[in-house]
């Protein structure tokens, strides 16, 4: 789904015009971007947290030539999904992880995949 499709869906659900939703969505994304770029975390309880993380300098390779190059340290945006969002995406599956494998339990059928 792209931004235009998202605006359409929100406008339909909220009963507002596409222009109003586009203005609101732009304000939300700009506000989150400004906050994260200034070092703040933005948490939408149940949905997730936007923040910035420092990535250390490292050595990489040019994929075309194979030549080694230094990649400088940088700050990157990050998103951590909240509990409600994770559960919605998982649907009817409960995910249990252990050291070397993951078991998917179908809640409706009780079967194991």
User: Are the CB atoms for 100 and 94 separated by under 8 Å?
Assistant: no
**Residue 20 DSSP label:** H
Position of tokens 């969002």? 85
Give the residue from 31, 22, 24 showing the smallest Cα distance to 3.
22
Q: What are phi and psi of 13, to 5 degrees?
A: -70, -35
In CATH, which of 2.160.10.10, 3.40.30.10, 3.40.50.300, 4.10.520.10 is domain 3-81? 4.10.520.10
Environment class of 47 (CB within 10 Å of its CB; exposed 0-12, middle 13-18, buried 19+): middle
> Is 55 a residue whose pLDDT tops 90?
yes
Instruction: Provide the 8-state DSSP code for 47.
Output: T
**Residue 102 confidence (pLDDT) above 90:** no
Note the pLDDT tens digit of each residue in 8-45: 999 999 999 999 999 999 999 999 999 999 999 999 99
Entry pTM: 0.72
Contact present, 22 and 61 (Cβ < 8 Å): no
CA 105 to chain centre: 24
Return the structure tokens found at 8. 């359409």
CATH 4.10.520.10 domain span(s) along the chain: 3-81
């Amino acid at each position: 789904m792209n931004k235009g499709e998202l605006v359409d869906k929100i406008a339909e659900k909220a009963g507002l015009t596409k222009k109003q939703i586009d203005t609101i969505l732009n304000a939300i994304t700009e506000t989150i971007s400004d906050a994260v770029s200034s070092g703040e975390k933005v948490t939408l309880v149940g949905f997730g947290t936007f923040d910035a993380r420092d990535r250390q300098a490292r050595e990489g390779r040019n994929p075309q030539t194979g030549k080694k190059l230094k990649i400088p340290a940088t700050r990157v945006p990050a998103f951590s999904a909240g509990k409600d969002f994770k559960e919605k995406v998982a649907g009817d599956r409960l995910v249990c992880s252990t050291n070397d494998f993951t078991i998917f339990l179908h809640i409706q059928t009780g079967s194991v995949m």
